[in-house]
Amino acid sequence: MDPFFISTASVAAGELGDKTQLLSLILATRLRKPAPIIAGIFVATLVNHLIACSIGEWVGSLFTPTILRWVLGISFLAVAVWALIPDKVDENVKTQSNYGVFVLTMVTFFLAEMGDKTQIIALALAAKYDALTAVVAGTTLGMMIVNIPTVLFAERATKWIPVKFVRIVAALIYAILGVITLLGYSNMDL
């Protein structure tokens, strides 16, 4: 499978209903300045996933492809379970800053993404594929595919589809990816 496509799809699925999507919603409804919020999310995601993917690529160089396949497959299955657990965001997110909306968004989003399931998936995908640029670009695009509409449509965004349904679909996608990876089909050209 193409590393860019699988990275985009994996992270977009994981971001639906995730705490960083909820943070995007809170920032959008409180700050009401979509352009700097979207720019802050983009920069935070790009830097965060570049760091995670660089570490993942390094870790990937330490193990055999078989071990990496098992680690990635089990990671996908673990994230499938994790996706079923509702995320919570502190409702008291500080929305005033001396540095402006862009910096506030960038810093809070970067910190919220630390140790998040989408960051872990980015790290695991970079370990699996020897394609740092494709994985970073794909994971960043996946985050933006979900967060741009969230910011632009704010409160209406989460009312389109029930969050519980989104978590179940995301869990199913991750479970399927986990099984495909464990069975060794992730290297096949589809």
Closest CA to 121 of 184, 61, 173, 66: 173
* Distance separating alpha carbons of residues 161 and 36, to the nearest angstrom: 26
Tokens of 106: 């960038």
Rg (CA), the chain: 16
Task: With a cut of 90, say whether residue 142 has pLDDT above it.
Answer: yes
Amino acid at 113: E
Phi, psi angle pair for 26, to nearest 5°:
-65, -45
Helices H / strands E in the chain, number of each: 8, 0
Q: What is the pTM of this model?
A: 0.72
* Distance separating alpha carbons of residues 40 and 25, to the nearest angstrom: 14
Task: With a cut of 50, say whether residue 186 has pLDDT above it.
Answer: yes
What digits encode the pLDDT tens for the residues 55-114? 988 887 887 777 777 877 787 787 778 767 765 554 455 545 556 889 999 998 898 888
Residue 140's pLDDT band, with cuts at 50, 70 and 90, is: very high
Task: With a cut of 70, say whether residue 187 has pLDDT above it.
Answer: no
The percent of residues above 90 in pLDDT, for the chain, comes to: 26
